[in-house]
Structure 1
């Protein structure tokens, strides 16, 4: 199953400033809510394991948990703003925090967070306009500005182009503070051109921008983008290759590798209660009979010597 992230467009267009790890933490929490079936509410914590962060973003194992822990603490102090229309037709400017509670468990390399009440409907309200994308699309983006720009752009996927976004508004949406990159040359080099280069290299779209002027000064930007050719074909080819591996695994191989996986530290998040390694191995063998679970466990199978050729 693909990792989908869904955000209400009011949140996509919110003005906030998060660093890269904080954005990744939130996205992983959203995916965890969808995959676990827990949903997102203002009462129950969502868990994010360091192992998930390592696997999704290909980061160093020795620093992954500390990065998540620091991000959790920083996120607790963060704020974001957005606008809503009230029942009388007037604009309400809303200021809220992202999370109302955080926890971290050093012995389990796990952090937990509870989203603030104000943000829950923005993430879960899917009957209104929403933007969704595969988490994989932003996994290789190392610039927080690139992640924000990608989110802003795909909200306009149906048209492939944005309206003109006024410069101050764009800076706010992309997460730039008032005293950062005040010179246009620095802004383009460190933010705009860097973000576009990463998006063009690592995601499923290619984008270009046009600058707009009032007199001699740049007053805003508009963006146009298109889907890369072959992205769908590559996804289908990957799915076909996985199906081929799944169909060729024999029962003997399934039980052999299930036993190996049961002792793999990376598989701890799949274990249940106090079950023994043998019981865990039996359950893994059953999981490997399901194509979606096989695809999910394939990276771990490769770690214990499964020949993916």
Structure 2
């Protein structure tokens, strides 16, 4: 605790956040909210990079706010809400028993990376946390990871994936964040079967388990429409990758989904700036400047206020129907209940832009 108080913030303004995450976690199966996924990703990465060992980590509201480029008041609410749910969250991962090490009598006989020699897959089912506490006065969340998770973090150097955390903060939805991590894990793989690009190939049940929805979407078409396609669309819009979805069938039954990965990430080049061209050219007929044209609305820059959320409730049916893709499975409440459920996302400038009809309804 004294070390945390003396040096509380690992994630600070202006510091690039490169996530290093165990491939066992990248390919594991679990279900979290977007905020829970962000928090645990930052916490796991912080513990790994601090290199202090153990299984305890603190994330301050200031760190969470800085990393996700959101309002600090919103960060306090996120940490408080998240702390109430995280203890019950579970996951499953696969590690490998190195049978040669076992026969040799070595102590550390498990590995994240599949050994080149004889091995046996071992599935772990466990909780993320052994304990969690939110300290409201100090504004930080305390996480004590479970023993299996602490073990995976200690093994991150064996097989891990790195990616720029900033690329994930504008991705709406847990499924998209999960797929983005998986794409980064597979992007450097060698193409097989004569294909031009690396591919992620999994059976339908494996995809559903990966996204934490094994007991949802009994119709394959619904899973494809509500999980795979929206996630692929968002990642493609980011333009770092071009993902292509294919499906394999036995007769008329879809057995596998295949995602091809075209990696478009290149070192950024300095743009040539024409010294004779004014950056804020005045439009001939409208009198507006280029800067005016791209300036976002206040609600896009800051998130919605309570008053604006209440105005959306006046047009509740229209708003909820337009954003039905964000509705939780089997939601039973009213339109107002659903908007209240979305409130934290609507107040978050990184997520509010993903909601349809917002400007139209606020302007009425």
> Residue 173 in 1 paired to residue 184 in 2?
no
Contact kept? 1:7, 1:124, Cα under 8 Å: no
Q: Distance in 2 between matches of 1:213 and 1:66?
A: 46
Unmatched tracts of structure 1, length 5 or more? 238-309
How far is the alpha carbon of 1:163 from its aligned partner? 4.2
Query: Which residue number in structure 1 is paired with residue 43 of structure 2?
Result: 29
Query: 1:173: Cα distance to partner?
Result: 0.7
Question: TM-score under structure 1 normalisation?
Answer: 0.68
The Cα offsets for residues 275-301 of structure 1, whole Å up to 9 and x where unpaired, read as xxxxxxxxxxxxxxxxxxxxxxxxxxx
Q: Deviations over 1:81-120 (max 9, x none)?
A: 1223335444332211111111211112211112111112
2:184 to 154, 164, 169: 154
Match of 1:102 in 2: 132
Tell me the residue number matched to 2:160. 130
SS state at 1:119 partner: helix
- Which digits, 9 at most, give the CA deviation of each residue in 1:42-96, with x for residues without a partner? 2xx3221222323332445443322222222322111111223335444332211
Change (3 A) 1:20 1:206: same
Kindly provide the CA deviation profile for residues 147-167 of structure 1, in whole angstroms up to 9, marking residues without a partner as x: 111111111121352242100
Contact in 2 for aligned 1:6/1:123 (Cα 8 Å):
no
Question: Structure 1 residues 12 and 31 mapped into 2: Cα distance closer, same or farther (>3 Å)?
Answer: closer
Aligned residues: 231
Q: 1 CA distance for matches of 2:67 and 2:98?
A: 42
Contact 1:15/1:82 (8 A) holds in 2: yes
Question: TM-score when scaled to structure 2?
Answer: 0.58
Q: Is the 8 A contact 1:80 1:97 kept in 2?
A: yes
Name the counterpart of 2:248: 212
Structure 2 residue aligned with 1:224, among 242, 251, 260?
A: 260
Long gaps (5+) in structure 2: 1-14, 100-118, 190-196, 272-364
Q: Distance in 2 between matches of 1:32 and 1:128?
A: 17
- Secondary structure, counterpart of 2:137 in structure 1: helix
Contact 2:48 2:153 in 1 (8 A): no
Of 197, 201, 212 in structure 1, the residue corresponding to residue 233 of structure 2 is: 197
